Amino acid sequence: SVLALDGKIQKVGEKIFASNGKEVNFSSALESCEETGGTLATPMNEEENKAVLDIVKQYNRYAYLGVKESEAPGQFEYMDGTPLNYTNWHKNEPNGKGKEECVEMYTDGNWNDKKCTQYRLTICEF
């Protein structure tokens, strides 16, 4: 199917995940997704997490997710401030306790809290 585009585009239910292949900091990644009418990839269940992982594996690069630390250190939420209803944290993560406010996906699909200044793969959802 056209949507498979070398694994760089994944469709799950109503959502489409796509990457431009660029590695930038969190705010630049979010901005480039919003400019095209989407937002950063925000997996809300295992199936969506796997779709994002497929793109991560395609580039073999860690990617930012559309998840941020809330006012309470160690608690994470969606970009609109609602609590997470699905997580896939790596063992012993999140551990930044207020110092790592963004979230990245590893090449095994697990999540890690990370400083927002790192350069990570941009994956958007539409």
Domain boundaries in the chain?
A: 2-125
Over its length of 126 residues, how does the chain's per-residue pLDDT go in tens digits?
444 456 689 999 999 999 999 999 999 999 999 999 999 999 999 999 999 999 999 999 999 999 999 999 899 999 999 999 999 999 999 999 899 999 999 999 999 999 999 999 999 999
For residue 66, the one-letter residue type is G
pTM of the predicted protein model: 0.92
The phi and psi torsions of 82 (rounded to 5 degrees) equal -80, 150
Decide: 124 and 30 in contact? Cβ < 8 Å.
no
Q: Which CATH superfamily is domain 2-125 in?
A: Mannose-Binding Protein A, subunit A (3.10.100.10)
